[in-house]
């Protein structure tokens, strides 16, 4: 039986902005914010073989380590419990039938209305040996924004985890040098979170003083 999509919030207007004048012409648009549901078998293509082999390797721990499998727009995503993330990643990398040798980085996502799972990290994996692609996703709450680092499994995530920490505030435990990589060290907050305020901070660029976004243009 197919699960229903997760409804994690409501978006008003085209972009969800609040507390400002709407200039898009879509101010009365109201729609739910949904995430893809878990997918039933068969998943199709090589996806079944990947999930079956991982289930064989994890044994009785599979459901706890991988609580949900999602196939959306021809992409397989394994939603992994955060404590199991390094274990699952290492199995995917080292097993001869899986051999996902390459991780292309990590992307952060912020869903402020998804209580207990507000912050997500998404890792795209590639098997060069078998010509396959999948994704790993792990979530953590705003109140405890910690995920285990995958640096020991995939050293390529070094700068990507730093960037995700910098912009979203996810703390990757075990990372060898988790410092800001884009913003100044004394910067307050994490600019790509959806609750980060727009405006109020002037920017200096090549000697020019650029006013903050909320002062650059006015609508009446």
What CATH number does the domain containing 204 carry? 3.30.460.80
Clarify whether residues 30 and 40 are in a common domain. Answer: no
Cα distance from N-terminal residue to C-terminal residue, the chain: 51
Shared domain check, 59 and 26: no
**218 has pLDDT over 60:** no
Question: By residue range, what is the domain housing residue 1?
Answer: 1-35
Average pLDDT, the chain: 89
Q: Are residues 61 and 134 in the same domain?
A: yes
**Do both 56 and 141 map to the same domain?**
yes
Beta bridge partners of 171: 146
State whether 19 and 92 are in the same domain.
Answer: no
User: 123-163: per-residue pLDDT in tens?
Assistant: 999 999 999 999 999 999 999 999 999 999 999 999 999 99
Question: Is residue 1 scored above 60 in pLDDT?
Answer: no
Strands 132-140 and 75-79: parallel
Residues 92 and 168 in one domain: yes
Tell which residue, 165, 130, 123, 159, has the closest CA to residue 146: 165
Contact between 112 and 196 (Cβ < 8 Å): no
pLDDT of residue 50: 98
Task: Please answer whether residues 30 and 10 qualify as being in contact, where contact means their C-beta atoms are separated by less than 8 angstroms.
Answer: yes
pTM here is 0.84
Same domain, 127 and 172: yes
Q: Are residues 66 and 106 in the same domain?
A: yes
**Number of domains comprising the chain:** 2
Q: Do residues 178 and 171 touch, judged by C-beta distance below 8 A?
A: yes
Q: Report pLDDT for 36.
A: 87
For residues 167 and 178, membership in a common domain is answered with yes
**In terms of domains, do 99 and 177 share one?**
yes
Position 207 scores a pLDDT of 74
Does 30 share its domain with 11?
yes
101-114: per-residue pLDDT in tens? 999 999 999 998 89
Q: Give Cα separations from 68 to 36, 86, 127 (angstroms).
A: 11, 17, 21
Segment 11-43, tens digit of pLDDT: 777 666 666 556 666 777 888 888 888 999 999
Nearest to 170, CA basis, from 185, 183, 160: 160
pLDDT at 181 over 90: yes
Shared domain for 87 and 139, answered yes or no, is: yes
* Spatial distance between the Cα atoms of 82 and 148, rounded to a whole number of angstroms: 7
């Amino acid at each position: 039986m197919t699960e229903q999509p997760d409804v994690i919030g409501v978006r008003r207007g085209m972009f969800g902005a609040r507390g400002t004048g709407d200039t898009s012409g879509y101010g009365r648009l109201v729609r739910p914010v949904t995430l893809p549901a878990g997918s039933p078998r068969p998943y199709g293509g090589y996806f079944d073989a990947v999930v079956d082999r991982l289930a064989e390797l994890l044994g009785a721990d599979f459901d706890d380590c991988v609580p949900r499998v999602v196939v959306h727009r021809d992409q397989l995503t394994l939603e992994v419990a955060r404590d199991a993330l390094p274990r699952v990643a290492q199995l995917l990398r080292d097993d001869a039938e899986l051999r996902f040798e390459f991780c292309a980085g990590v992307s952060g996502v912020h869903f402020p209305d998804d209580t207990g799972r507000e912050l997500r990290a998404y890792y795209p994996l590639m098997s060069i040996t078998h010509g396959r692609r999948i994704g790993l996703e792990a979530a953590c709450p705003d109140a405890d924004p910690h995920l285990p680092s995958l640096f020991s499994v995939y050293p390529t995530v070094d700068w990507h985890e730093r960037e995700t920490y910098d912009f979203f505030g996810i703390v990757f435990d075990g990372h060898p040098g988790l410092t800001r990589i884009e913003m100044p060290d004394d910067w307050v907050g994490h600019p790509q979170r959806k609750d980060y305020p727009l405006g109020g901070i002037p920017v200096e660029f090549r000697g020019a003083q650029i006013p903050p976004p909320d002062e650059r243009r006015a609508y009446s």
